[in-house]
Structure 1
Amino acid sequence: MGEAIGQSLPIAVGVLVSPMPIVALVLMLVSQRAASNGTGFVAGWLVGIFVLGSGVALLADGAGSGGEDPPVWAAVLKIVLGALLLLLAVRSWRGRPGAGETAPVPKWMAALDEFNVFKAFGTGVLLGAVNPKNLLLVVSAGTTIATATSETGQQLGAMAVFTFIASLGVLVPFGIYLVTGERAATLLEGIKAWMIANNAVIMTILLVVLGVKMVGDGMGSF
């Protein structure tokens, strides 16, 4: 399991520093339903990542991965996923705000104040496992774990560790809120502003690094 965890950790870091989910959580934590919506969002995030990643790992293992010699399809999939991550990096860089411009906040975030716990949970699932960047990363992690070990228990254990590391970006702000309550508002607002301002640069760098890694791992399997 150690090998599976080690190989998936760089991908987990890519999910961890996703700016927009952190911004969404912060907006919930400064709303009237902060406690319930924050809890629902974090729960949805954790469930979405773990279920998707575990499903991919188990399917990949059932299709013949997890042996000493990874199948050709697994190597090809890594190359394809890496190429898609590089394309997202290009898109992120092109979409960055120009000099002197303020990075816009997505319009859908304006509705977060009106969310209930169920909508917050669904938003956590969507941002954790369905948005294009995280979807590619979690699928990449599931494939990586499946090619590192064929033991189902080890795969699920590695995915649990991956989910925890990948979730630190939302768990830390949520933990700050639980410990300090309303006093966390100023700090959380600062985190939100920094994440919005640097979203494009952060994501471009991460996507390039992870995309190159996935392509390299795939080519190295031949």
Structure 2
Amino acid sequence: MGAAIGQSLPIAVGVLISPMPIVAVVLMLVSRKATANGFSFLLGWIVGIAVLGSIVLLVAGAATPSESGPPAWASVVKIVLGFLLLLLAIKQWRGRPRAGATPETPKWMSAIDAFTPVKAFGLAVLLGAVNPKNLLLVVSGAAAIAAATSETGEQLGALAVFVVVASIGVAAPVVIYLAMGARAATMLEELKTWMIQNNAVIMAVLLLVLGAKMVGDGITAL
């Protein structure tokens, strides 16, 4: 299981520092239903990543014959996913706001104050498992786990670690809010502003590093 965790951990860290989900949960925590929406968002985030990761592991398990070592297709999948991450990194970099420009914020952010816990849960699932950037990262992480071990118990254990690490970024604002209450508002507002302003650059660098790692690992394993 150690190899599976080691292969997927950098990708989990990538999911952890994705700016938009952190911005979303911060907005939940300054909404009228802060506590309920914050916890619902965190739960939806965990469920979305866990379900998507489990689906990838099931598909990978069904396609993997009983043999020692990772199959060749797993290396090819890593290379393909790596190149997709690199392309997404280029797109993010080219779409970054120029110096002095204010980045455009998604329309859903303005509606968060009226969200119910059910909507908060649904948004978290969308951002964690359906949004293209996170979708690629989670699929890449689960594929790395599947390539590292064929043992079901080890795969599930590594996936659990992946989900926990990937959820720290979303969980941290909730913990800060619970610990500090209303005093956390200023800190969370500053965090939200910084994340929105630097979202494109953070994601571009992140996707570039992870994409290059995935391609390198795939080529090495062939």
SS at match of 1:103: coil
Question: Alpha-carbon deviation of 1:46?
Answer: 0.3
| Cα distance in structure 2, aligned partners of 1:65 and 1:9 | 25
1:87 and 2:87 equivalent?
A: yes
In the other structure, the counterpart of 1:100 is 100
Q: RMSD between aligned alpha carbons?
A: 1.2
Question: Alpha-carbon deviation of 1:113?
Answer: 0.8
* Paired AA for residue 173 in structure 1: P
Deviations 1:38-79 (A, max 9, x none): 111000000000111122112212211685332222111111
* Paired AA for residue 179 in structure 1: A
Indicate if the aligned counterparts of 1:66 and 1:147 stay in contact, CA closer than 8 A: no
* Paired AA for residue 116 in structure 1: T
In the other structure, the counterpart of 1:40 is 40
TM-score by length of 1: 0.97
In the other structure, the counterpart of 2:193 is 193
* Paired AA for residue 164 in structure 1: V
Distance 1:201 1:49, change over 3 A: same
| Cα distance in structure 1, aligned partners of 2:66 and 2:12 | 20
In the other structure, the counterpart of 2:120 is 120
Distance 1:165 1:41, change over 3 A: same
| Cα distance in structure 1, aligned partners of 2:66 and 2:163 | 20
Aligned residues: 222
1:9 and 2:9 equivalent?
A: yes
Question: Alpha-carbon deviation of 1:108?
Answer: 1.5
Divergent runs of 4+, >4 A: none
Question: Alpha-carbon deviation of 1:185?
Answer: 0.5
* Paired AA for residue 161 in structure 1: V
| Cα distance in structure 1, aligned partners of 2:138 and 2:65 | 17
Deviations 1:139-177 (A, max 9, x none): 111111111111111111110100010111111111101
Indicate if the aligned counterparts of 2:70 and 2:149 stay in contact, CA closer than 8 A: no
Question: Alpha-carbon deviation of 1:35?
Answer: 0.6
In the other structure, the counterpart of 1:159 is 159
SS at match of 1:69: coil
Deviations 1:184-221 (A, max 9, x none): 10110011011111111111100000000111111112
In the other structure, the counterpart of 1:73 is 73
* Paired AA for residue 20 in structure 1: M
SS at match of 2:6: helix
Gaps of 5+ in 2: none
| Cα distance in structure 1, aligned partners of 2:15 and 2:84 | 15
| Cα distance in structure 1, aligned partners of 2:92 and 2:188 | 24
* Paired AA for residue 189 in structure 1: E
SS at match of 1:105: coil
| Cα distance in structure 2, aligned partners of 1:207 and 1:137 | 9
| Cα distance in structure 1, aligned partners of 2:109 and 2:34 | 15
Deviations 1:69-100 (A, max 9, x none): 32222111111111110111111011111111
